[in-house]
Amino acid sequence: MAAATVVLVVILQIGFIIRALLRAGLSPTARLAWVTVISALPGAGIAAYFLFGEIRLARAGRERMREVRNKLQAAQRRTPDHNIVHTGAAYPAFAAGLATSQFPPLGGNRLTLLCEGDAMMHDVFDAIGQARDHVHVLFYIWLPDATGTRMAQALMAAARRGVTCRVLVDDHGARRLIRSNLWQLMGAAGVALERAAPVGNPFISLLFQRIDLRNHRKIIVVDNRLSWVGSRNCADAAFAIKPRFAPWVDILVRLEGPVVQQQQAVFLHDWMTHHAEDLSHMLRAPAPPAPQGNVVAQVIASGPDDIYTTPSDALRAMIYAATERMTLTTPYYVPDPALHTAICSAAERGVHTDLILPARNDSAIVGAASESLYPDLLRAGVRIHLFTPGLIHSKIVTVDGQFGMIGTANLDHRSFDLNYENSLLFHCASFTECLDQRQRSYMDRATRIDRADVADWSIIRRLRNNTLALASPLL
């Protein structure tokens, strides 16, 4: 019996190794990591690969997403007056964004950077209070705290006066809201509620799909006229589920103009994927008139249903276009090798490159994996700033004071490969300067580290970082 068990395990090992070697869309480093894990830890490695080694989506769900995407693309109103063939330095990034989510760059937009802290959400609440037709809300995390309660109250009040309100939340990230009385109250008030990426019974679900694929998007659309994009979840900056890392410092930007329809399309895609309601007609209706702006913008929506194009493609195009300066802010820095190389290469060729990270990461594993990359970054000339008063949660990249990207995607494998994300690529010198000012305020509250600081790390710390970095392609 023991010999038969050993033979069975070896056969399974060989089978899973071959499967990992044949899997499409896997980088060589990730492929090597999985082969090593399966070989070194026969039972655990096989189980880990089965659970997390492949992006498995239920067939019905994948077909539903394809059907919805085709329907919305057919309904999408084309606005030739706003479509732009961008010929400047940002053109390759916009082209990569178009390949990722099929949205063209659009001109005539206005972007407004909101203040830092809980007060940023007042802009959203005020707009919901003035909504006339519909309010669409999508959040990864929604806590039943002061901010979450006020959002629910604003939606319930809007629903009671006849505004159609639809709320979509990630089943895992918003589980505290779903289990709270607020969820029931919103439903009773007439707010349409839906859960994205439902987990259900995990022991059954994992047989058919990965259960750690999350909808990490944050989208609010009011009357197809206003929208918001950024890193802010529907929760207080005090972030009750991880208070010792508080305050969580986020960014939120109000959008006006034709790009709002792209945000609407992303929301409708997710809503219709999980709900039978066909809302494609909302993309055929003419958008309300908006103030004429001077920002060229493009929504980049990504997810695990497309393993070949990710926000990393547009980010690399941005970075290779940089000639003078570049600033990157992210809470989680575990990028794919190509993106890490692009950042180091920019610094090496003389681009003034600043990277802003949290001094204390809420994920110890991700924090250690990030630290393992500090020597490469510092050697290349990247200036690393560790934000100290709380956890920096903003996701910002700006290039040469001309263009940049904001949104929900972190600079890590999870955002690029496993999460549903939405980001905004933009070209506008004045708005880029607003973001650069905000990032300079982050650096004013950060501690800069250099190569001497890293050289003083203990052997144990370096061993820990480099050991955990071996798993970074799998994180």
Among all residues, which ones are annotated catalytic? 216, 218, 223, 393, 395, 400
Neighbours of 373 (CB within 10 A): 21
Map tokens 């929208």 to a residue: 227
Q: Please name the amino acid found at residue 374.
A: Y
Angle formed at CA 70 by CA 225 and CA 216, multiple of 5 degrees: 60
Q: Please name the amino acid found at residue 286.
A: P
C-alpha–C-alpha distance, residues 366 and 361, integer Å: 8
Q: Which residues contact 178 (CB under 8 A, 6 or more apart)?
A: 169, 171, 195
Closest to 269 (Cα-Cα) out of 78, 54, 98, 61: 61
H or E segment to which residue 397 belongs: strand 396-399
Please name every residue paired with 193 in a beta bridge, in sequence order, or none if there are none: 167
Contact, 165 vs 152, CB < 8 A?
A: no
Give one DSSP letter per residue of 330-359, joined into a string.
-S-EE--HHHHHHHHHHHHTT-EEEEEEES
H or E segment to which residue 22 belongs: helix 2-22
Closest to 37 (Cα-Cα) out of 47, 24, 27: 47
DSSP 114: P
C-alpha–C-alpha distance, residues 362 and 141, integer Å: 15
3-state secondary structure 287-317: CCCCCCCCEEEEEEEECCCCCCCCHHHHHHH
Q: Which residues contact 414 (CB under 8 A, 6 or more apart)?
A: 332, 475
202 CB-contact burial (10 Å; exposed 0-12 / middle 13-18 / buried 19+)? exposed
Q: Where are the alpha helices (DSSP H) in 330-456?
A: 337-348, 364-371, 374-380, 413, 429-444, 451-455
C-alpha–C-alpha distance, residues 121 and 113, integer Å: 12
**First CA to last CA across the chain, in angstroms?**
36
